[in-house]
Amino acid sequence: MAFMYNHTVLVGRLVRDPELTQRSDSVSKLYFVLAVGRGYKKEDGSKGTDFIPVCIWGKTAELGMQLLKKGTPALISGRIQIRHYEKERVKHFVTEVIADTFQLLEKKSPVDDDDEASLGGPPELDTHDL
């Protein structure tokens, strides 16, 4: 019996703002690089970091463009893909993560109390209603 399973989960920060490209009228592709720290230190005491290219497709890509920015900590879930292309008779290989989902790991900065009230904020609780 053969077992094959291609799934990866990464936690890191975006190195730069993502790039959105339209492949057709209905298909979007979001590309960014995720910096993921290694769990060990080098001989000089510094921690290593991997820079992993990530692609997200479709509606999730459009949502990602709205929410993901440089420095955003994110959890990415997807699969590893290795593809190749030929340029000037040289074969190039590309390893990237094709993400199915993402999750932001940091809430947006808190809203000031004055701003919260102007936005409708939480309703006042009247103890007489209890």
Does residue 96 lie in a domain region? yes
More confident residue, 31 or 114: 31
Lowest mean pLDDT among 5-9, 10-14, 33-37, 112-116: 112-116
CA angle, 109 as apex, 105 and 114 as ends, to 5°?
A: 150
Does residue 34 lie in a domain region? yes
Residue 76 scores a pLDDT above 80: yes
In terms of Cα–Cα distance, which of 59, 94, 93, 96 is closest to 76? 96
Residue 84 exposed, middle or buried by CB count within 10 Å (0-12, 13-18, 19+) = exposed
The structural domain count of the chain equals: 1
Does residue 69 lie in a domain region? yes
pLDDT band at 108 (very low <50, low <70, confident <90, very high): low
Does residue 72 lie in a domain region? yes
Does residue 40 lie in a domain region? yes
Token reading at 46 = 């510094």
Give tens-digit pLDDT for 114-126.
444 444 444 444 4
Does residue 130 lie in a domain region? no
Give pLDDT, residue 109: 58
Give CA torsion, residues 86, 88, 90, 94, to 10 deg.
-40
Domain of 34 in residue numbering reads as: 8-122
CATH number, domain of 44, equals 2.40.50.140
Does residue 3 lie in a domain region? no
